[in-house]
A and B are shown apart, each in its own frame.
Chain A
Amino acid sequence: MAIDVQGIRRDFPILERRAGEKPLLYLDSAATSHKPAPVIEAVASFYRESNANVHRALYRLAAEATELYEAARGKVATLLGARSEEIVFVRGTTEALNLAAHTVGEARLGAGDTVVVTEMEHHANLVPWQQTARRHGARLEAVPVTDSGELGLSAYERLLSSGAKVVALAHASNLLGTINPIPELAQAAHRAGALLVVDAAQTVPHMPVSVRELGADMLAFSGHKMLGPTGIGVLWARGDLLEELPPFMTGGEMIGEVWLDKATWADPPRRFEAGTPPFAQAVGLGVAVDYLAELGLVDVRAHDVELVERVLEGLSRREHVTVYGPREPSARAGLVSFNVAGVHPHDVATLLDQEGIAIRAGHHCAQPLVRRLGVPATCRASFYVYNTTEEVDAFLWALDEAWRLLK
């Protein structure tokens, strides 16, 4: 069933504000989503009513805070079809992927091994692997992107057979929108004896994601892109893998026993949650998960596809516009990158901003991919549950105005 967009919009207080003289038309949810009132209220009410540091304290308030924190972990586990002890709370996708790269490097990488990434990675799933490969004397290889914006699968197979120990790739590209065929890629990685780490920042918020169906070994995403607060994210990893991995950060919360000269580690997930965790944010994320589950992620996905289809259709009718990534809406996440002939993306974004329209222009933290496309930057419009087909039409109209003024 289609989601009730007008009803949803009433839940998002920020959509009532104006951008200058115009209503805010927000097309940058791939960067961060807005927050519905129940999430904002959950964080505020946690601070008002339940605030205490989680774990170990003996008084009632702390027990209540711990219960709320762990309940949020349970909600995330249910969302992913995972077990609670496989959910590590972190600050966001970047921290999750740094944790993965660091610990997998320690446990599995040696001189001469290969780390496989792709040409379409966000810097967050590229730079940590560069660093880890350097530290352990491993080679870093990248799967090339084809002209149609997909991964080169024969190159992938070839790289796997060159001593690959770990593969790190995006579930969906934050620039091209391409959804990668993770189940097949995971099977191939496992056949070659490599782990598969998935950056799911652009997919978990937008579609049903089951970690078992994907067949991945680790998966990372952020709360703030899925209606939740900033400062909270998730690293999921297979239980037996988490058991094997050493800590990332050390300190309070993550220990078993500590002596002056040594320490032992707590079991996962706490081994990976050093220090006071962002518990109020975790509670907010739990409510965001509830909100999305209530809408139904199948319907959330259908709404994205409908908007993307309308945008692709509109952009393809304009000869001065180049669209990047797959043509087929169902092969894409809810975002579209494009360029306007002879006009710099920043100029497009600035002129759209004059109409209250927020799009992103730049390299989208994917400089190697932008270089591969042979452009200095791109524009990107991205969508979520609160965007309407009327907004898509207003965006296309504004793009025509910008073209008229700058062509």
Chain B
Amino acid sequence: MKGYGEVILEHWRRPRNRGRLRAPDREAVQANPLCGDVVRLQLFFEDGCVRDVRFDGEGCAISQAAASLLTEKVKGKATAQLAELGEREFLGELGEVTATRAGCALLALWALQRALKEGPR
């Protein structure tokens, strides 16, 4: 049994930016009704760039690790750069995930996309 890759295990055990922002500019909750995974992503912008970010939620190691990894990636980025963040690139950084679990791995990214689409709160 090879288990999960280092990136997933590391972010699952020591999640980055977990919690809530007091006054987020953007926020989205993305859930997978099939398995009950939930990720809430909150963003705070300053001068057009992500100044602060938090996630919380519950679910499997992959969904929570992916959310943690995503928060690291979005920090400091401008809106246009965020929109460019692709699924394939993100999965590549997370490490090997089977097709049956891609929905878990992409939950946080979909939350980000929704937060951007829905605009400021």
Q: At the interface, yes or no: B61 with Cβ under 8 Å from chain A?
A: yes
For residue B32, which residue of chain A has the nearest CB?
A: A346
Q: Is B2 among interface residues, defined by CB-CB distance under 8 A?
A: yes
Give residues 338-367 of A contacting B (CB, 8 Å). 343-347, 350-351, 353-355, 361-363
Chain B neighbourhood of A344, CB < 8 A = 59-61
- What are the residues of chain A within 8 A of B3 when measuring CB–CB? 351, 354, 402, 405-406
Q: Are B35 and A362 closer than 8 Å at their CB atoms?
A: yes
Cβ contact within 8 Å between B2 and A354: yes
Contact present for A376 and B36 (CB under 8 Å): yes
- Residues of the B chain whose Cβ atoms lie less than 8 Å from the Cβ of A351: 1, 3-4
With A353-B98, A405-B1 known as contacts, the answer to whether A347 contacts B35 (CB < 8 A) is no
A347, A351, A363, most chain B CB atoms within 10 A: A347
Query: Is A204 part of the binding interface, using a Cβ–Cβ cutoff of 8 Å?
Result: no
Consensus secondary structure, chain B interface: loop
Is A398 interfacial (CB 8 A cutoff)? yes
Whether B60 lies near A346 (C-beta < 8 A) is yes
In the complex, residue of chain B having the shortest beta-carbon distance to the beta carbon of A377: B36
The answer for the CA separation of A363 and B1 in the assembled complex, in Å, is 25
Interchain CB contact under 8 A, A347 and B62? yes
Chain A residues within an 8 Å CB radius of B58: 376
Distance between B115 CB and nearest chain A CB, rounded to angstroms: 23
Q: A313 CB to closest chain B CB, in angstroms?
A: 23
- Chain B min CB distance to A25 (Å): 13
- Complex interface: chain A residues within 8 A of B34 (CB): 362
- State how many angstroms separate the Cβ of B57 from the closest Cβ of chain A: 11
Q: Size range of the interface on A?
A: 20 to 34
Determine the distance from Cα of A350 to Cα of B2 in the docked complex, in whole angstroms.
11
Residues of A within 8 A of B35 (CB): 346, 361-362, 376-377
Q: How far is the CA of A46 from the CA of B1 in the complex (A)?
A: 43
Query: Does B77 reach chain A (CB closer than 8 Å)?
Result: no
Question: How would residues 94 to 121 of chain B score, 1 for a CB under 8 Å from any chain A CB and 0 otherwise?
Answer: 0000101100100000000000000000
Kindly state whether residue A244 has any CB partner on chain B within 8 Å.
Answer: no
Chain A interface, DSSP helix/strand/loop, else mixed: helix
Closest CB in chain B relative to A19 CB, distance in Å: 12
Set of chain B residues within 8 Å of A353, measured between Cβ atoms = 98, 100
A350 to B1, CA, bound (A): 10
- Taking a contact as CB atoms closer than 8 A, the residue among A347, A354, A362 that contacts B61 in the complex is A347
Asked if A11 is at the interface (CB within 8 A of a chain B CB), the reply is no
The reply on A328 being an interface residue by CB < 8 A is no
Q: Which residues of A contact B2 (CB under 8 A)?
A: 354
CB-defined interface of B35-61 with A at 8 Å, one 1/0 digit per residue?
Answer: 111000000000000000000001111
Contacts of B104 in A (CB 8 A): 346
Interface residues of A in 359-387 (CB under 8 A from B): 361-363, 376-377
A401 touches B1 (CB 8 A): yes
**How far is it, in angstroms, between the C-alpha of A401 and the C-alpha of B34 when the chains are bound?**
26
User: Closest CB-CB distance, B31 to chain A, in whole Å?
Assistant: 11
Tell me the smallest distance from the CB of B104 to a CB of chain A, in Å: 7
* B9-47 interface bits toward A, Cβ cutoff 8 Å, 1 = contact, 0 = none: 000000000000000000000000011110000000000
Give A363 Cβ to nearest chain B Cβ, in Å.
Answer: 7
Q: In the complex the two chains form, what is the Cα distance from A361 to B37 in whole Å?
A: 13
- 0/1 per residue, A77-99, Cβ < 8 Å to B? 00000000000000000000000
CB neighbours (8 Å) of B4 from chain A are 347, 351, 405-406
Residue from B1, B59, B62 in contact with A398 in the complex, judged by beta carbons closer than 8 Å: B1
Chain B nearest CB, measured from A141 CB (Å): 26
In the assembled complex, which residues on chain A have CB atoms less than 8 Å from the CB atom of B101?
Answer: 346, 350
Distance in angstroms between the alpha carbons of A182 and B61 in the assembled complex: 41
Q: Which residue of B lies closest to A343 (CB)?
A: B61
Residues 180-223 (chain A) with a chain B CB within 8 angstroms: none
Q: A346-B35, A346-B104 are in contact. List 6 more A-B contacts (CB 8 A).
A: A344-B60, A346-B62, A346-B101, A347-B4, A402-B3, A406-B61
**19 interchain pairs (CB within 8 A)?**
A344-B59, A346-B35, A346-B62, A347-B61, A347-B62, A350-B100, A350-B101, A351-B1, A351-B3, A353-B100, A354-B1, A354-B2, A354-B3, A362-B36, A398-B1, A401-B1, A402-B3, A405-B3, A406-B61
Residues of A within 8 A of B (CB): 343-347, 350-351, 353-355, 361-363, 376-377, 398, 401-402, 405-406
Counting from the closest, the 7 A-B pairs by CB-CB distance are A344-B60, A405-B3, A346-B60, A376-B36, A401-B1, A347-B61, A347-B60
